Amino acid sequence: MLLPDNIHPEHSIYYNGAIVLQVLQDQTKQNLLDLYQNVKQKRDMTFSVFVLSLDWLFLLNVAVINNNGKVELCS
C-alpha cells in the first residue's frame, strides 16, 4: 500500500522506498541484485516489496536504470 490506514507505516511503499533511496544515496550506482542485498542488510524486505518500492522511485524520477543495467540516482 502507498498510504496505509490500517497497517503499520513500515509496511508502506513510501517507507520502504525511503530505505531503498537511503541505500542508493550511499552508493549511487548499483547492480539490481547488489542493491537488493544492501537493502536487506538495513531492513528485512521481500523482493516484491523491493521491486514495488523501486518502481515508485522510477515513477518519481528519483532512480533510473542506466545503459549498463545498473540502478542509479537521477541527478
Of the pLDDT bands very low, low, confident and very high (cuts 50, 70, 90), residue 5 is low
**Is residue 6 pLDDT above 90, yes or no?**
no
Question: How many Å apart are CA 55 and CA 63, to the nearest integer?
Answer: 9
Element spanning 63, H or E:
strand 63-65
* Rounded-to-10 torsion of CA 27, 15, 2, 59: -20
- Domain borders along the chain are 9-73
Q: What is the pTM of this model?
A: 0.86
> What is the edge-to-edge ordering of all strands in the sheet holding 63-65?
29-30, 71-73, 63-65
Q: Which grid cell sits at 21?
A: 533511496
Pairing of strands 71-73, 29-30: antiparallel
Q: What is the pLDDT of residues 19-34, one digit of tens each?
A: 999 999 999 899 999 9
9-73 fold: Arc Repressor Mutant, subunit A (1.10.10)
